[in-house]
Structure formats: C-alpha cells, structure tokens
Chain A
Amino acid sequence: MGAFLIRRLVQSVVLLLIVTFLTFILIHQAPGGPSILLSPDIPPNEAERISESLGLNDPILVQYVRWLGGMARLNFGNSYQQTRPVTTVIAQRLPPTLILAGASLLVALLVAIPLGILAAVRRNSVFDHVATMLSLFGVAVPVFWYGLMLIIICGVWLRILPSGGLADDPSQFDLVDRVRHLILPTLVLGTTAMAQFTRYMRSGMVAVLQDDYVRTARAKGLAERTVLLRHAFRNALIPVITIVGVVIPRLIGGAAITEKVFSYPGMGSLAVDSAFQRDYPVVMGVTLLVGVAVIAGNLLTDLMYGWVDPRIRVGEGARG
C-alpha cells in the first residue's frame, strides 16, 4: 500500500509537470498577448514596461521555471485582469462549482443506480426500454440546448425558476436564492451524467446476474432482494465507479457550457474568460487545479475498487 501510494505520487507529479508545461507553452506561444496590454488606455511604451516587469520578454523556458518556482512556494501569482492573487480569484469561483458538481453527481447517482438495476432485472420490459430511451436522451442531447429549453419552459412559460444570473458577491448570501439558481443547472449536468451511469449500471448488472454465484445465491433460497443488493450489486458497481471517476474532473473543469447557459459564476466560465484574455497566471492556476482533480478522481476510483471488491488489492496487479 505504501509503495503504491509513493509510486502514484511520483506518477502524478510527472503528469502534472507535463500537463502544465504543455499548457504553458500553448498559451504563451499563442498569437496576441494578454488583452490587458492591448487596452487603448495604455500607451505603447507603458505596455512594454509592464510586459518587461511581468517577465514576459524572457525566454519561455525561463518563464516556466520561474512559474514552477512560484508553485514550490505556493505562490500562484496575480491575475493580470483582476489585479488580485490567482488564489483569491479561484477561491471565489471554486465553491459554486463544487456545489453544482456535487449536487449533479448526487442527483445522477440517486436516479441512475435504481434505474440501472431495475432495467437490468426486468430486461426487455417496457421499463427497460424507457430507461434506455432516457439514457440515450442524456447522451445525445446538446447540453446548451437542453439548458435553453429548460429556461424556456421553467423561466419563460411557467415563470417558476430564475433563468440564470447568480450573484457572485459572497456578501449578498441568500440560501433560498442560491438553491433556486442551482436547480436548473443541476438538472442539466445531472441528466448527462445520469445517462452514462445508467448505461454502465444496467450492463454491469446484466452481466453479473448471469454469473454462477448469483444462481447459487438464489438456489440456496435467499430473498431476491438480498441476492440483488448484497451479492450482485457490489460487483456490478465496478464499471460505474470507473465512469464516476472520469466524470468528476469533467464536472469540476468542464462545466463551461452549462455555466455559460445559466450565467453561473464557476470554474468553467473562469477558464474560458481567462483563456480569452490571455490571463496566463489564471489559466495556469485553473489547469493545475483540474489536473489535481483528475489525479484525485483516479486515485479515489482505485481505492473504491478495493472497497467494493476486496479481492482487488490496490498496488498489486497488472496496472503498471
């Protein structure tokens, strides 16, 4: 276990170095510098001076090493655009994203697990077909369009929910307002995640139910409920855990579209805006955070395997 953790740590650090290095090169080599320097309010020689003072004229490798040095001291630098530390900018955008991601994940799992199990148990029944249709809807629907349709139905026709525009000023905290703003984006993100979870839950359950040990459990007269939940369910859960591990970082880093549709102040829109404005320190901060989220998701997945199926021992086996 200890050796496993150390190996994973080394792998993670290497992965983070590669990802941040590539992103660093990518954004710095891109045409057009930081948009703050292109502002007409700043005279050209002033822009040149700022660019010099930010070290943007140094060779790219020097700049990357300097950024790494900052990282080592947990200094993420200041946002060019907002003249605040990157940590402050991210700290403000992260909680809404985490809340949205957590809520969607919860909704998706609460719907998908029973749906997938029931669909597998009553294979080829009407219920199964409806569940399949639902999950196909979630796979095929364009996220932004689905969001817009919900806005039209709930915000424009029924007028029961706000269509967007959650205040990102923490001082005006209003729990009811927060929750009302959360419902539609959660529904959108939750549906797409739910679609995938249902598919994996169903196919995992269908496969497991054909195994001999399930027949044995039934033969020894266990209640069907016990057979399904105590015996089959745990093993069928493994592919679902894998896909949850893939989805989590996506919810944290990639909910850009949903956030944009509902003008929700989270990480996704921060990533898009800062890439547009070539706000290098913020882009790098977001990239690092997403990278860490990916690694944490993978680690969590591997640990969950061991919890669901004790035969899978973390750290041994063929996964080199």
Chain B
Amino acid sequence: MAAESKQVAIPGVMAGNVRQTHRRSEWRAGLRVLLRNRVALVSVIFLVLIHLVAVAAPLVAPADPDFIQIGKRFQRPNAEFLLGSDENGRDVLTRLIYGSRVSLLVGSLSVLLSVTIGTLAGAVAGYRGGVIDSLIMRFTDGMLTIPTFFLVLIIVTVFGSSLRNIILVIALTSWMVIARVVRGDVLRTVSQDYITAARALGVPPARLVLRHVLPGAVPSIIVSTTLGVANAILTESALSYLGLGVQPPTSTWGNMLSGAQNYLFRRPELAIYPGVLIFLTVLAYNFFGDGLHDAMDPRYRHKG
C-alpha cells in the first residue's frame, strides 16, 4: 500500500518540478516581451513616478494645498505659483499633486477589493460547478446588465460620498468581469490531468484551488486588475466632478475640474491640467494592461 502510493507520488512530484521551472521561464519570457514593448515600458515608468509623487506629496509639493490667498486669485504661472493659482488663490500644482492621492488610492483599494470578490466568486463557481455555479453566474450576469454608473450614482447620492463609500461602491459594481474570466480559467484548469492527480492524492480542496488551480488564472487576473484600476479612476473622477466624490477643500482631480468649469472663459487651462492627468494615468494603465496581456500570452511572444 505504502509502496503503491509512493509510486503514484513520484510522477506527481516530478511534474511539479517541471512546472515550477517552466513557470519561472514563462515569467522571464513575459518580462522580456514587456521590456521590449516601448509604449508599455514608458507607461510603467510614468505610473511608478506618479505613485511616488502621490505618496511623497508633502515632500514634493511646493505649498500647502488648502492655503487660501484671496489677493492672489487666478495668477499666471510664476515663481511662486508654478502652474498659477485657482479661484481661491491656492497653488494649482500643489493641489494637483495632492489630488493624485485620492484618485490613486480609490483606484488601487477598490480594485484590490473587486479582484478579491471576483476571484473568489469565479473560483468557487468554476470549481464547485452545479447549482452553486449557476446561482453565482446568473447573479453575475444580472449585475453585468445593470448600467453600473447609474447604480453607483444612486448609491452614492443616497449613502453619502465618503472615501470609504466610494471605494466600496466601485468595488461592488466592478467584480463581475473578473469573476467570469477566473471561472473560465478555473474550468479549463480543473479538467487537466495534474489536477485529477492532485485530487487523487487527497489534496484538500482549499489547498488544491489555491496552490494548483488559481495560479493558472493569475495572468488574466493581473490584466483585469490594471484595466480595473483605469476604470475605477475614471469613475471616481466622474463622481468627484458631479460633486458626489470626496468633498472640497480636499482636492481631487475630478473636483478641481468641476471648480474650474465656472471659469472656463477666464482661465481654461485650470480645466485642462487635471483632465490631462486623469487621461494620461488611465491611458498608461490601459497600455500597461495591454502590454501585460501580450507578455503573458505565449501566442504573442514570437511576434514582438
């Protein structure tokens, strides 16, 4: 009996080793493709920079973001105000730097949450199958058909627009695509021989899913994450713009834009800066996501 189980175990272990090294070289090949993709590389550098600036805002920003100087409203760019001052005489550059904190925080936290929910739902649905699968997937489909921004609007209007609410609401309305993708990957993985082998060896289900099934879904999860951050940043800035985001005087890119809207004729550039930053950040996340997609998909590797 003991000898028999040993014999079964040996090929399993070997397969495991082969897979480990295989996976490592997969990652390395992927990294090579990513580095060769110039647009993706520039995007990554831009994203790293903008995150560093957001974290180090008090050190980098030239002034106090909420310091009002009514006597110095609407200054043109000069030595004191590098990008000029706004309708309350506050430093625009400083407010842009502090504004990045809200956007990036909402982007990363809400996506962290939605990826967790989506992965969990997708993994459970795909692995358990049957009634549980159809219940979870019908619910996912239902959520997908509701126009999410409409839902987000109603919830935020009704429950108030604290940072916590905004993060929660974005997370709860954006996990569905990830759930579908993960479910698909899990279904594909579960039917493979090494999973049957692991199951035959008596690996407990939770461990089986975490160690053997989910790693197969990691590439799609990572790609959905980058695209999710981009969408979360757009949603947050739209809410801020409608006055349903983090409230002034705290600056966000969205509420700076809605503030600037009243002075379009006088100082259009006040509306241009925050929009350009949102646009570039979202674009960079999209390029990064596309680059990751190509890097992780073996079919694309030989073309780059």
Contact = CB atoms under 8 A, between A and B. Distances in A.
A298 B144 CA distance: 12
Interface string A272-298: 100110100001000100100010001
Contacts, number: 108
B286 A156 contact: no
Interface stretch (A94-102, A136-144, A167-175): A136-144
Interface string A19-55: 1000100110011000000000000000000000000
A156 B234 CA distance: 26
A140 to B, nearest CB: 4
Contact of A271 (B153, B230, B272): B153
B160 interface: yes
Contacts of A290: 147, 150
A136 B271 contact: no
Contact of A26 (B142, B158, B278, B287): B158
Nearest to B138: A320
B180 to A, nearest CB: 13
Contacts of B159: 30-31
B248 interface: no
A83 to B, nearest CB: 22
Contact of B283 (A136, A287, A294): A136
The residue among A143, A254, A271 with the most chain B CB atoms within 10 A of its own CB is A254
Given A152-B264, A152-B268, A152-B271, A256 B155 contact: no
A313 to B, nearest CB: 21
A98 to B, nearest CB: 16
B270 to A, nearest CB: 10
B9 interface: no
A145 B160 contact: no
Contact of A140 (B145, B149, B264, B279): B279
Interface in A127-141: 136, 139-141
Interface residues of B, number: 37
A106 interface: no
A256 B257 contact: no
A260 B242 contact: yes
A275 B150 CA distance: 11
A116 interface: no
Given A144-B257, A145-B257, A275-B158, A139 B149 contact: no
B189 interface: no
B89 interface: no
B32 to A, nearest CB: 21
A19 B145 CA distance: 11
Interface of A: 15, 18-19, 23, 26-27, 30-31, 136, 139-146, 148-149, 151-152, 156, 163, 246, 249-250, 253-254, 256-257, 260, 271-272, 275-276, 278, 283, 287, 290, 294, 298, 320
Given A143-B238, A148-B275, A290-B150, 8 more contacts: A15-B145, A140-B279, A141-B282, A142-B278, A142-B279, A152-B272, A254-B149, A283-B154
The 5 A-B pairs at the shortest CB distance, nearest first, are namely: A145-B275, A30-B158, A275-B157, A140-B283, A140-B282
15 contacts: A27-B158, A31-B159, A31-B160, A136-B287, A141-B282, A142-B238, A144-B237, A149-B275, A254-B149, A256-B153, A257-B149, A257-B242, A275-B154, A275-B158, A320-B134
